[in-house]
Amino acid sequence: MASPRAPLRFAEAVSATVSERTRSGFFFDFDGTLAPIMRDPAAVFPVAGAVARLRALAGLVGRVAIVSARPAAFLCERFAEVPQARLFGLYGMQTVVDGRVRTDAGARPWAPVMRTLIADAGRELPGEVLVEDKALMVALHYRAAPELRRAVERWASDKAAELGLREQYGRMVVELRPPVKSDKGTIIERETETLTRAWYFGDDLSDGLAFDALRGRQDRDPAFLGVKVAVANGETGDDLARGADFTVDRPEDTPAMLDQVIAAFPARTLDK
């Protein structure tokens, strides 16, 4: 059995990343990590400075990526100024290649099922529940009425069983999606295969799968360094924070942490 690693120090993580910069990657969730959580999902934009930091990182390390439940087209709009970034939407069911969105072949046949689900949700759920249509995924937001959580979760569970869908729980939201084997963990497993250093920033339950993927790679390969950063919040408990190497208090603090990383690279001036 491998001996447990000593707690990671931030300066050590940064130094190790700088030393292997071309084989280092930075991966980010979007909502709650690079952007605030809001009642209207369409109104959400990255926090001040986030795009500039990602653009700077993209010129310093081998890989920068956004891994999100958002549709890939939405991510393209929000990160148009970081063309080097890899974009993974709908938990990897959509990817952006050469500026064009590609959809997983296994997910496409489920589009009619999602249309049925949208119609059912509109008829059967209380009006306070925001039903977000993501084409190949449906998100049921109860942020405007937290007391409806159990009712929404029961309805989602019943529909998942009826239609053969997967459930994903998050911050005052339940998402229903095709039973395609793609999530933040599988993306990180795949995208870090050629890397020796990888940082992942997240805030929600689904981000725990990415943390697990980094731990698994590190267990298999002692030379690999996985750095887990959690954005603290009171909505998902503290499990993610307990499993993180470092935490920040809110999305607005993510650019400040990235500043510390960027500043460690020699002869680089950040365009603020």
Q: If we measure between CA atoms, which residue out of 210, 268, 250 comes closest to residue 55?
A: 268
Nearest to 202 by CA among 60, 95, 96, 88: 88
CA gap 254, 252 in Å, rounded? 6
Token pair 């109104």 is found at: 43
Residue tagged active-site, from 29, 104, 183, 203: 29
Structure tokens at 8: 């990671």
- Output the six-digit token pair for 219: 């267990």
219 classed as catalytic = no
Task: Find, among 165, 261, 235, 228, the residue nearest to 29 by Cα.
Answer: 228
Q: Smallest Cα–Cα separation from 217: which of 207, 226, 208?
A: 226
Closest CA to 262 of 21, 8, 23, 12: 21
What positions carry a catalytic annotation?
A: 29
